Structure 1
Amino acid sequence: MIKSMMARVLVALALGTGIVAAQPQVALAAGCSGYSCDGKDPIAMGCGSTKTAHSVFVLVNGNYAIGVIELRYSSVCRTTWARIQLYKEDWERGATNSPIGQIIRIGDNKHYRCSNVGWSNDLRTYTCYTPMVNDAGLTSYANAQVRYFNADQYAETAAY
């Protein structure tokens, strides 16, 4: 069981940090920058193609990894957003439900949530991401809450 959890953690970290080769994306011109991005979709605005995962935190139940929460950052758009990923086997057998991913900008507590998890063929996980918040000269963090059977699991990334 510990080997299974470690394998999941390594895969999650590799995906989140870009170590694993991904299908190339066409770079889009950013459709917003800074505060004009607040509440907007990072992919639709072209910010998703310039992202990096600054902080990844594994969602665990005891010693069992059930997913990850990521704080994502676009240097072009100067924004952050959260992405939650839940592992397929737990989601499909009903072990995980009621997921909420959230991005919070420190200072004014501007925040956005996602809970509409859908299957990602690229990531091979059930995923959702939040709208963006401006992060130019500011700090943000991401958190997630997931119900695993009858217990709520919570995880929070480091701030960036």
Structure 2
Amino acid sequence: MARAGVVVGGVGLAMVAATGVSNAYTYDGSDPSSTGCASGATTVESATVRNSQGSVGTIELRYSVACHTAWARMTLNQTAGACGNASAGYDCAHGFVTRNNDGRSYSCTIYQGQTQCYTPMVYDKGMTSFAEGVKDTVWGLADARTAAY
């Protein structure tokens, strides 16, 4: 597979292109906390994750102006019960962030005993991204998607 790399001015503008896949920019797949990008970040879009019985949580699209990155934070209204295996009968809750221009996406999972998770980041200077949250429940799938930012 042929790869081409372009680095302009160091951090923030590095890009690696691979034939047939989405672009990989600086910070793609990185942790918002360990990179420092979470410091000063704001919630730019949010949506209520709901099904026919009502709200089960909130999905947020977080954004760092300093790093030009976005990520999703999923928060449940209650601590997650058993999930993710055949005996539980339900999939665990997931948050997703997706960059619109190339579809690059990362996810996080809320496991039993937890209420929150956040995804790795996508770089999105000059682009847009959205967040989506999904939770499997006895009353059906609860889901929501934020507007793009």
Q: Does the TM-score normalized on the shorter chain lie above 0.5? A: yes
Larger radius of gyration: 2
TM bracket, shorter-chain basis: 0.7 to 0.9
Moved over 3 A (4+): 116-119
Distance 1:45 1:148, change over 3 A: same
Question: 2:146 — aligned with what?
Answer: 157
Whether the aligned pair in 2 keeps the contact of 1:33 and 1:79 (CA below 8 Å) is no
Structure 1-normalised TM-score? 0.68
Stretches of structure 1 lacking an aligned partner (at least 5 in a row): 1-31, 120-124
Whether the aligned pair in 1 keeps the contact of 2:74 and 2:116 (CA below 8 Å) is yes
- Which protein is richer in helix relative to its size? 1
Give the total of aligned pairs. Answer: 123
Distance 1:137 1:117, change over 3 A: farther
RMSD, aligned α-carbons: 2.4
Residue 62 of structure 2 corresponds to residue 72 of structure 1: yes
Percent of aligned pairs with the same residue? Answer: 36
Whether the aligned pair in 2 keeps the contact of 1:103 and 1:113 (CA below 8 Å) is yes
Deviation of the 1:62 alpha carbon? 2.5
Whether the aligned pair in 2 keeps the contact of 1:84 and 1:127 (CA below 8 Å) is yes
Q: CA deviation digits over 1:84-140, x for unaligned, max 9?
A: 001125x3488x852111100011101101114476xxxxx7001000000100000
Stretches of structure 2 lacking an aligned partner (at least 5 in a row): 1-10, 14-24, 84-89
- Which protein is richer in strand relative to its size? 2
